[in-house]
Amino acid sequence: MRRLRGKFEKYFLHTHDRVRQYAVGVEQGGELMFRRIADTLTKYPHLLAVSNDAKKAFQNFDRAPMWDLLEREFPELATLVRFTYGVESAIVLRDADLGDPIIVLNAVGARQGCPLGTMLYALVQHPLLVEVAEAYDTLEVDAFADDVTFTAAPPVACAANALYKHLYTLRLNGELNDAKSSAISFGVTEAEARAAGLNENIPWMHAWMQAELPDGSVAEGGVILYGGPIGTPAFVRAFLQAAVDTTATSFRRLALMERRQDRLIMLRQSPSKKLQHVQRLQCLQ
């Protein structure tokens, strides 16, 4: 898989100059996506970012489109994927009053725990993102697996999200969850966004609302987007301080562990990664 990283990056980041999928083959993709969206909204307050979430994305996407895409874009993986997914899974239903047992064949989604799951989902999703970008020449599309953000002037961002929702249902037989989606802007009001076509079921994240910090406290002046703070300098400082304080508490708890090897494992897996994540999210000066 590591030998394919260059091909992954070329396909998911450079197929289209306004479409970026950060979940496959991109180091620190989540942090890069946050930084791009946060900086864009800060620099251009007249823009609107509409983010959406797919319901049970990895479980429900239609596999049918992935075979041709695999053969064309990643032939090195085609045999392995056909070996893994070429035969439909069998789901056995008992006590269903349908003439037990009933066997239902399943040919959708990625299998639980499959290391290829994210890549396969992104593979079949990517043509939809490109199609939406082609429909609106001022649209920027950023995605981390099933989390997709459309950034543009309000009418374009809202129309793009609606088109993607339609294509996602039509091509992948999936469904977007509007209740877990969001819309945010530093200069556009909610009334303006709704008038531009923002779905009434998509929550509005006012740029200066209250948000919960990593330590569980609440601060005013910003929101949390993709795990990072966007808002006033005071809000960002409060978020960073809470993240550091929470991590410091974890360090003190490590001292209570008896074995040094256990301490080292926990240190690498939790506190260190939390601090690195915070450092990558913010431009610390």
Task: Write the pLDDT tens digit of every residue in 238-271.
Answer: 888 888 888 777 777 777 778 888 777 776 766 6
- Among 69-78, 97-106, 211-220, 230-239, the range scoring the smallest mean pLDDT is 97-106
**pLDDT tier at 235, thresholds 50, 70, 90:** confident
Residue 274 is predicted with a pLDDT of 64
Higher pLDDT, 108 or 199: 199
- The average pLDDT across 48-65 equals 91
**Omega into 45 within 30° of 0, i.e. cis?**
no
Higher pLDDT, 2 or 45: 45
Residue 285 is predicted with a pLDDT of 41
Residue 138 is predicted with a pLDDT of 97
Higher pLDDT, 185 or 91: 185
Residue 30 is predicted with a pLDDT of 84
Is the pLDDT at 227 greater than 70? The verdict is: yes
**3-state per-residue secondary structure call for the chain:** CHHHHHHHHHHHHHCCCCEEECCCCCCCHHHHHHHHHHHHHHHCCCCEEEEECECCHHHHCECCCHHHHHHHHCHHHHHHHHHHHCCCEEEEECCCCCCCCEEEEECECCCCCCCCHHHHHHHHHHHHHHHHHHHCCCCEEEEECCEEEEEECHHHHHHHHHHHHHHHHHHHCCCECHHHCEEEECCCCHHHHHHCCCCCCCCEEECCCEEECCCCCEEECEEEECCEEEECHHHHHHHHHHHHHHHHHHHHHHCCCCCHHHHHHHHHHCHHHHHHHHHHHCCCC
